[in-house]
């Protein structure tokens, strides 16, 4: 690890003295404040290497990079938010493998490093796998939100295992309270919150190899292990005593409105499983760490599967090779490249060597600790599936199951049939 880091520093130093350095071109999906944070990091890269840069942010970068690749005008670096898109680009021959030794560096320096190396590796045109993507900026999904005041008033403690979480849910019911707020509504995307539940639970009920096989459909949707996981989700969402408004309200409640029950008086619910972005939809003036807090969606003590984390993230890939592009990948391996955005807010990283004091507050620091304590990280499964499944029949199938219109097996059979129709 140390020798690789020193080699990276030497590379940066040599580049800084290059007389004819060319401009680094970068494409990403970050706009507004995110673009300012990205450019602050690029400013540091430029200072460290002597390379100028040009960043283009686009809210349609997924389409733009395909156009640029086909036109032969791809940028040096593209930040890709979906492994599926990176896999497609690799298969087209549009990506350059990351510098030798990068995979070992990721395994050594990222928490759950093997997971990140695997997620950034794809087959090329000949079917040979290479590491193409280095993840930078990660989103966390395996969180349960709650009101500390409500927990304190009721004498509840934060659970540390799934068994404790289910026992707490039962105790709340026995106390005449409703444990969960769950909402699947999201316009044309209704159903996606249920897919996150299933993905999180699958990582806690089966080894990560089963999750990977399911995402690729090597393990079919109607495999008994998958059906059992859907039913485990149902033990929360299809239980009238567990969910605010009863089962009938789950599918019709908008996901943006569903956490508001945490903050009513008396509370309509006590817990809400959702990703790190959900405070955006809390009532105005809600302070995370005071009025609302979170804990890790726990694993089963009886399963011995470690501490898996579900999330998403953006990876840097080389879409036009150059010394400047390789220097940039080296720069992303430095704590500075992460700490600049960390300090500005809205940034989580699996890099173990960052100075956690650079996070803007304790809440973000605690959230990042969940990421750093992960033994396995997996990307959102539905986002890796073909669109007709992951953003289609998986969504609608979970709505049908949650509402009681179909059993878990019937929903899984229909999703699997739609997958077969794609082949």
Predicted confidence (pLDDT) per residue in 144-171, tens digit? 999 999 999 999 999 999 999 999 999 9
pLDDT one-digit tens code per residue, 367-392: 999 999 999 999 999 989 988 999 99
What is residue 270's predicted lDDT score, i.e. its pLDDT? 98
What is residue 13's predicted lDDT score, i.e. its pLDDT? 39
Asked if pLDDT for residue 140 goes beyond 50, the answer is yes
Mean pLDDT score of the chain, rounded to an integer?
93
Asked if pLDDT for residue 318 goes beyond 80, the answer is yes
What is residue 7's predicted lDDT score, i.e. its pLDDT? 39
What is residue 10's predicted lDDT score, i.e. its pLDDT? 39
Asked if pLDDT for residue 250 goes beyond 90, the answer is yes
pLDDT one-digit tens code per residue, 15-53: 444 334 589 999 999 999 999 999 999 999 999 999 999
Question: What percent of the chain has a predicted confidence (pLDDT) above 70?
Answer: 95
d(CA 180, CA 167): 13
Residue pair 348/140 in contact (Cβ under 8 Å)? The answer is: yes
pLDDT one-digit tens code per residue, 175-192: 999 999 999 999 999 999
Q: Average pLDDT, stretch 310-338?
A: 97
What is residue 21's predicted lDDT score, i.e. its pLDDT? 56
Please choose, from the candidates 140, 160, 402, 108, the residue with its C-alpha nearest in 3D space to the C-alpha of residue 298: 160
pLDDT one-digit tens code per residue, 332-377: 999 999 999 999 999 999 999 999 999 999 999 999 999 999 999 9
d(CA 54, CA 74): 13
What is residue 383's predicted lDDT score, i.e. its pLDDT? 87
pTM of the model: 0.89
């Amino acid at each position: 690890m140390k020798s690789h880091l020193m080699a990276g520093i030497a590379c940066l130093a040599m580049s800084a003295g290059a007389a004819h350095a060319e401009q680094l071109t970068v494409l990403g999906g970050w706009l507004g404040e995110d673009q300012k944070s990205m450019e602050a990091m690029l400013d540091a890269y430029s200072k460290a290497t002597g390379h100028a840069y040009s960043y283009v942010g686009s809210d349609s970068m997924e389409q733009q990079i395909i156009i640029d690749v086909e036109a032969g005008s791809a940028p040096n670096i593209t930040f890709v938010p979906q492994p599926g898109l990176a896999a497609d680009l690799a298969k087209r021959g549009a990506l350059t493998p990351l510098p030798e030794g990068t995979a070992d560096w990721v395994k050594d320096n990222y928490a759950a490093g093997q997971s990140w190396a695997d997620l950034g590796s794809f087959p090329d045109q000949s079917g040979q796998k290479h590491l193409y993507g280095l993840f930078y900026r990660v989103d966390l999904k395996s969180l349960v939100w709650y009101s500390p005041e409500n927990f304190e008033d009721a004498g509840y403690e934060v659970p540390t295992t799934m068994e404790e979480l289910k026992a707490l849910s039962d105790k709340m019911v026995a106390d005449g309270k409703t444990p969960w707020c769950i909402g699947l509504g999201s316009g044309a995307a209704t159903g996606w919150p249920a897919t996150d539940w299933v993905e999180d639970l699958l990582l806690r009920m089966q080894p990560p190899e089963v999750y990977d096989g399911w995402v690729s459909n090597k393990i079919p949707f109607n495999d008994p292990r998958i059906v059992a996981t859907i039913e485990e989700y149902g033990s929360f969402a299809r239980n009238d005593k567990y969910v605010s408004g009863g089962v009938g309200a789950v599918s019709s409640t908008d996901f943006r409105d569903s956490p508001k029950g945490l903050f009513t008086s008396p509370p309509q619910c006590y817990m809400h499983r959702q990703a790190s972005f959900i405070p955006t939809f809390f009532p105005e003036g809600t302070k995370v760490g005071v009025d609302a807090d979170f804990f890790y969606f726990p694993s089963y003590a009886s399963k011995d599967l470690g501490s898996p984390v579900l999330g998403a993230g953006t990876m840097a890939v080389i879409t036009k090779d150059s010394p400047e592009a390789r220097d940039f990948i080296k720069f992303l391996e430095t704590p500075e490249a992460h700490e600049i955005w960390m300090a500005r807010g809205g940034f989580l990283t699996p890099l173990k060597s960052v100075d956690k004091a650079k996070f803007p507050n304790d809440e973000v620091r605690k959230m990042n600790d969940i990421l750093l304590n992960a033994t396995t990280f997996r990307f959102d499964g539905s986002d890796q599936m073909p669109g007709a499944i992951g953003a289609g029949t998986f969504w609608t199938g979970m709505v049908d199951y949650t509402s009681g219109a179909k059993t878990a097996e019937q929903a899984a059979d229909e999703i699997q049939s739609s997958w077969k129709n794609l082949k």
